[in-house]
Amino acid sequence: MVECHNRLPATLWLFLSIALVGQLFAQDVLVELKEIYPEETRYAGFTLSGEQELEVEAVGPHRRGRYGMYASAWILRTNDREVVWELSDANSKWESRYLRNYSDKVTLSAGDYEVYYSNYPGYRYHYSDGHFSFSKLFFGDRDRDDDIDYDVFEEFSLVVKGKGRSLDKSQVAERQEKVRDKAVVSLNVRRDDKFVNQGFELKKETDLIVYSIGEARDDGVFDYGWIMDVQTREKVWQFRNRRSEHAGGSDKNRFFKRTISLPAGKYAAFYVTDDSHSPREWNAAPPYDPAFWGLSIFADNASDARNVSLFEYEDRPLENVIVDLTEMRDSDFASKGFTLKKDMKVRVSALGEGTNGDMYDYGWIVNTGTRERVWEMKYRRTEHAGGSSKNRMADDVIELEKGSYMVHFVTDDSHSFRAWNAAAPLEGQRWGIVVMGAESNFKKSDVAEYKEKEDKSIVARLTGIRDYENKRTQFRMKSDGEVRIYAIGEGMDGNMYDYAWIEEEGSRKVVWEMTYRKTDHAGGARKNRMFDDTVFLRKGKYVLHYESDDSHSFGDWNASPPRDPHYWGVTLFAVE
């Protein structure tokens, strides 16, 4: 027998053992994102079959400055859309003047994940010579970002290492679509100037998870959704800035994710975007979950999804229209009255212009007997109507008592039907106001036309007064009693310039005069003054006067008009 010796040297055995252990514990590259240039978002994904610790390495900018963290990277769990890791959590060290190396480890459970790297500049605003301007800040608070060599962005990278399966963009999109399929309502919007809706019916009370991402700041909401009860038109949920949380990226990215409970009934979900900042073209850093920009509704308990059925939502038919004042143009004013023969619920739908809490094209409804405003289009109660953020809409159901009412709508000198100076609303032909019967048993015979000239409660009237007018009209008091005087005019610094007064016909004695101290603010410019009170008059003949100066009057305002411009002048009503 021949003995053969094949023993390896001890040092070689040690080398092979170390190499074998290294191979056993080496991490595969699951995701690698490189060369992230400004105003770009890159993403990919991976799947894990079990829980494990992953290594994350990145090259990027320094940490968040006062003007924002313009570039960031994060990992999102696909199934529940939760952020499980973010770049700012990692340890880092300087690599160069502009760049830092980031390194971290994160333990994740089995499932699908999405990896993002977003590179958007911050913005610093300047005010000079009465004008605003801004500069882009690529590296936080530095003053000379314009000197940056763009080659530096070639170094931006993110690498995720671990044992799993890599997913490309199309595979990530497929898994996102599976999540959307689980939603009972899915309104994901990718473009500006969109208005989408979906009707859904609940067979019984159901707990729903509302997940919505949009654009909002303290001064308003711009891309957002809401849920409305179709029968009552009540908004049972609405996206608001104060009730939402930061969604990552720009501070204006907000998200809402909570469980709400809705009773059985029919509902409609809506989502609207304005003319900027959406997935197709972000104008600032995107949110952590850009693929779900919009509104998604899930059953809190998966088995409860069978309680939900979808239907195509359509607005209520227009055959119940009582008053239609639409297609309003610049510097326009329209009004129309109606009389209800019984108490009734009516729906008021209005579309107009408003910004920063103020309305410029808007409508209102007045009780002709009491002169009380029973409804007004106020900015805080309006929603975005698509297109420019200043396009506002109101849609309410109100209860009105039996009686007569006047519907008014006024516009300023710009941005109206067929003369838009910014992106038009989605239903521009409805610019104005519509009043409709809201009850299922509505009958047109329960409504009559109201004509102010035939209103027996009006004792005397001088309205629609223009510049340089001096009007008068006679009236008689058949017995001693009170009359209600409703007068609107112009006054400043204790003096009246457009005003009314009443004289006895024979003696020409002034028995009432519209003085500044007796008036209140009438809305609009501070010089718009209003008198609304009763006065006692004895039996006899009287003359009602109204005089105006050379500026600021009905149809030719040189400042904001009053809330009730149609009544610029004076009206006397009988008091029962």
Burial class (CB in 10 A: 0-12, 13-18, 19+), 375: buried
Task: Give me the average pLDDT of each 10-residue run along the chain (576 residues).
Answer: 50 50 64 91 97 94 54 93 92 77 95 95 58 53 55 88 96 97 96 90 97 89 89 87 92 96 96 88 92 97 95 76 94 90 94 91 89 90 84 93 93 89 82 92 92 81 95 96 96 97 96 97 92 95 97 90 87 89
Q: Give the dihedral sign, CA 280/282/286/292.
A: negative
Three-state SS for 359? strand
What pLDDT does residue 42 have? 95
CB of 215 closer than 8 Å to CB of 223: yes
What pLDDT does residue 23 have? 44
- Owner of token pair 């911050």: 122
What pLDDT does residue 139 have? 56
What pLDDT does residue 9 have? 59
DSSP assignment of 369-391 equals TT--EEEE--GGG-EE-SSSTTE
What is the pTM assigned to this prediction? 0.68
CB of 133 closer than 8 Å to CB of 123: no
Q: Which residues in 52-143 belong to E strands, given as ranges?
A: 52-60, 71-77, 82-86, 91-94, 100-108, 111-119, 122-128, 131-137
Distance (Å, whole) CA 223 – CA 270: 11
Give the domains, in start order, of the chain with CATH numbers: 24-172 (2.60.120.380), 183-311 (2.60.120), 318-452 (2.60.120.380), 456-574 (2.60.120)
**Maximum Cα–Cα distance for the chain, whole Å?**
153
